Amino acid sequence: MSEGGKIILVTGGTGLVGRAIQNVIESNKNENEKWVFVGSKDADLCNKKSTEKLFEKHKPTHVIHLAAMVGGLFHNMAHNLDFLRKNIHMNDNVLQSAHENNVVKVISCLSTCIFPDKTTYPIDESMIHNGPPHPSNYGYSFAKRLIDIQNRGYYEQYGRIYTSIVPCNVFGPNDNFHPNASHVIPGLMRRLYDLIKDGNTEDKVFTILGSGKPLRQFIYSLDLAKLIIWVLREYNSVEPIILSVDESQEVTISQVAETIAQAFNFKGKLVYDTSAADGQYKKTASNAKLRKYLPDFQFTPFNEAIKDTVDWYIQNYDQARN
């Protein structure tokens, strides 16, 4: 790396999004940049001392802060307090250590699922704080919203450009496929694969929790990684920016289940368990701000990205987070 170059520390570098950035940066290297990817084995970011040591060791000039306690609807509902406290601790430790170590830019991660429950659609960057989040994930949501408040504080008091990105639902290789703690796509992949591993026959019944009717936007982790690298290199504002597929690319959960079933070449029948919770009916986000900067960005078609992820999962089942 040349003098005056960037040292980019990626927290959560071992997770779904972190690994996607590692993958994309391999073919998009910039002489001027040194990338350091860290996970929980490198430092416990809930602990300030451990976080400080990490910053002392790597001396980053830039931070992409992805580390978080993350989970799907049912995991959130059962552990709201843990989601609130762990994420508040991690975010405060990373942002304050970045400030103390003169880091010039921090990009932290919010999510479209932290927006107000009662709102108008599509949601945009100006609406984050306009009302309480859905009760199912209030802990995660309030912790994430505080990042934006804190970023504004660092700007007001110290002129720092610490910003945030707001991805919609992410999926891809290296996701968490744990049956009780995963998001909808990896959760469905895991359960379907378990059902057919020992025989993909016509009498098999695949049960999907909920009505299948809720609408969601999903971004492929490799597309998100490209956009995060663009934010690092080109986007210089404290204001959050939504990183989502277009509104026209929103899909129902039943479309998701069918696409996954096709990718596995599932021969049996899909059934919906309508006694299970659906969560928010929709959370349609507008990517108009992103499109102003990158009107021509091509998102990977949903069925292609699902097929790639299923193929990865089958090949890597033994090492995947199950």
Tokens of 111: 């999510």
Q: Does 12 bind ligand NDP (CB under 6 A)?
A: yes
DSSP state of 209: E
Burial of 132 (0-12, 13-18, 19+ CB in 10 A): exposed
Among 24, 46, 245, 290, binds ligand NDP (CB under 6 A): 46
- Torsion angle defined by CA atoms of residues 40, 83, 126 and 152, in that order, rounded to the nearest 10 degrees: -60
Distance between CA atoms of 107 and 229, rounded to whole angstroms? 10
Q: Does 41 bind ligand NDP (CB under 6 A)?
A: yes
CB of 183 to ligand NDP, least distance (A): 5
Q: Does 210 bind ligand NDP (CB under 6 A)?
A: no
Q: Does 253 bind ligand NDP (CB under 6 A)?
A: no
Distance between CA atoms of 33 and 26, rounded to whole angstroms? 12
Crossing angle (nearest 10°) for helices 80-100 and 48-58 = 40
CB of 47 to ligand NDP, least distance (A): 8
CB of 205 to ligand NDP, least distance (A): 27
Among 23, 30, 39, 286, binds ligand NDP (CB under 6 A): 39
Binding residues with ligand NDP: total (CB under 6 A): 27
Question: For residue 281, which of 47, 73, 140 has the smallest C-alpha distance?
Answer: 73
86-125 residues in contact with ligand NDP (CB under 6 A) are 90, 109, 111
Which CB atom, from 21 or from 261, has the smaller least distance to ligand NDP?
Answer: 21
Is 140 among the catalytic positions? Answer: yes
Order of strands, sheet of 161-167, starting from the edge strand that comes earlier in the sequence: 33-37, 6-11, 62-65, 105-109, 161-167, 241-243
Among 176, 217, 287, 309, binds ligand NDP (CB under 6 A): 176
Using the rule CB under 6 A, give the single segment among 63-71, 131-139, 249-257, 270-278 that binds ligand NDP: 63-71
Relative to beta strand 6-11, strand 62-65 is parallel
Q: By beta-carbon distance, which residue lies closest to ligand NDP?
A: 15
Q: Does 322 bind ligand NDP (CB under 6 A)?
A: no
- Which residues, other chains included, contact 112 with Cβ-Cβ below 8 Å and sequence gap of 6+? 123, 166, 167, 168, 169, 217, 242, 244, 283, 285
CB of 214 to ligand NDP, least distance (A): 15
CB of 12 to ligand NDP, least distance (A): 3
Q: Does 66 bind ligand NDP (CB under 6 A)?
A: yes
- Which residues, other chains included, contact 179 with Cβ-Cβ below 8 Å and sequence gap of 6+? 187, 190, 191
Among 9, 63, 64, 68, binds ligand NDP (CB under 6 A): 68
Using the rule CB under 6 A, give the single segment among 27-35, 41-49, 233-241, 246-254 that binds ligand NDP: 41-49
Alpha helices in 204-287 (DSSP H): 221-234, 253-263
Alpha helices in 28-168 (DSSP H): 48-58, 73-78, 80-100, 138-158
User: What are the backbone angles phi and psi of residue 191, rounded to the nearest 5°?
Assistant: -70, -35
CB of 272 to ligand NDP, least distance (A): 22
Q: Does 306 bind ligand NDP (CB under 6 A)?
A: no
Q: Does 170 bind ligand NDP (CB under 6 A)?
A: yes
Using the rule CB under 6 A, give the single segment among 35-43, 115-123, 127-135, 294-302 that binds ligand NDP: 35-43
Catalytic residues: 140
Residues that bind ligand NDP (CB under 6 A): 12-18, 39-41, 43-46, 66-70, 90, 109, 111, 167, 169-170, 176, 183
